[in-house]
Amino acid sequence: MVTGTKLSQDGDQNARLTELGRLWIGVVLVAAATSLHEVLTAVSATVIDAPNIVVRDLLRAGLRVCVLSV
């Protein structure tokens, strides 16, 4: 919770400083930051040749998006 709050506050500050707008910062940078662990897991699993980990992580991420969107 604390990290998510800090991330959104930093995103607002970056939007003000760069004048890119809160929507762009929210869609691109905050979304990338919250998905970074999934990308790193997929890359690591690919390097060690463990496709089951990649599939499990992708399914878990998709399920999380479905649950959060309801």
| pTM higher than 0.85 | no
The first and second tokens of residue 3, run together, are 């990290």
pLDDT of residue 6: 80
CA dist 14 and 37 (Å) reads 22
Q: 12-66, pLDDT tens digit by residue?
A: 887 888 887 777 777 777 777 777 878 888 888 889 998 888 888 878 877 776 7
Dihedral, CA atoms, 70, 22, 60, 6, nearest 10 degrees? -110
pLDDT reading at 68 higher than 70:
no
